[in-house]
Amino acid sequence: MMTDQTHNSSVTVWHGTTILTVRKAGRVVIAGDGQVSLGPTVIKSNARKVRSIGRGDVIGGFAGATADAFTLFERLEAKLEQYPGQLTRAAVELAKDWRTDRYLRRLEAMMLVADRETTLTLTGTGDVLEPEYDVMGIGSGGSFALAAARALIDSDLDAEAVARKAMAIAADICVYTNGNLVIESLDSTK
């Protein structure tokens, strides 16, 4: 009989992140909740998973292992220094490293990053993805927040209000997401 390792009681699973980005009417916002859970226990309710990167012209949020995400933020900042003002180029170079470097390949995190012109999702599988409808979500509640933001994007709400409302909806649905938000934003060219 085969067993599912994820249901094995000896396996400890960290859960708990919802990160959402919304780009609308000259503003780009990345919002993240503050909950970190270990199994059924909330370990921390006010973690900061969203921050400004580089010279303050890029914002980002992460889902996954915290130490891994900070390593990736540092690597992205180094790429941004190497390719100033070129978020896409820096992200692609990071994704290449992430896929080919033995150390980086083991990192378990995803990132949403944005500058004034571009929003991207970066994954450990080498993906560098742009959102289709100017919204994107990652993490345990990412799909809920994404669906809510897509429904709200055409409303009269501004980018931050869409993000706040969508994150509140995700927090009501996903047990690994709370309403303690950190939000970073930039003026956008779109």
Q: Does residue 170 register a pLDDT over 80?
A: yes
Of 144, 145, 110, nearest to 129 (Cα)? Answer: 110
Q: Are 127 and 111 in contact (CB under 8 A)?
A: no
Quote the pLDDT of residue 102.
63
* Maximum mean pLDDT: which of 10-19, 92-101, 154-163: 154-163
- DSSP E strand boundaries for 108-179: 109-114, 119-122, 128-129, 135-139
Of 56, 61, 52, 58, nearest to 32 (Cα)? Answer: 61
Instruction: Name the least confident of 53-57, 98-102, 107-111, 155-159.
Output: 98-102
Looking at every residue in the chain, the average pLDDT score rounds to: 86
| Residue 65, φ and ψ in degrees, nearest 5 | -65, 130
Quote the pLDDT of residue 142.
94
Domain ranges of the chain: 16-176
3-class DSSP assignment, residue 87: helix
Q: How confident is the model at residue 95 (pLDDT cuts 50, 70, 90)?
A: confident
Residues linked to residue 19 through DSSP beta bridges, in sequence order: 32, 138
pTM equals 0.88
Q: How confident is the model at residue 82 (pLDDT cuts 50, 70, 90)?
A: very high
Counting every residue written for the chain, the total comes to: 190
Between 146 and 67, name the one with better pLDDT.
146
Distance CA 62, CA 189 (A): 24
Quote the pLDDT of residue 9.
41
Quote the pLDDT of residue 110.
84
Distance CA 49, CA 147 (A): 21
**What are the catalytic residues?**
17
Pair of tokens at residue 53: 């990167």
Give the class (CATH, top level) of 16-176.
alpha beta
Of 62, 58, 60, nearest to 36 (Cα)? Answer: 62
Q: How confident is the model at residue 68 (pLDDT cuts 50, 70, 90)?
A: confident
Q: How confident is the model at residue 12 (pLDDT cuts 50, 70, 90)?
A: very low
* Maximum mean pLDDT: which of 49-58, 107-116, 154-163: 154-163
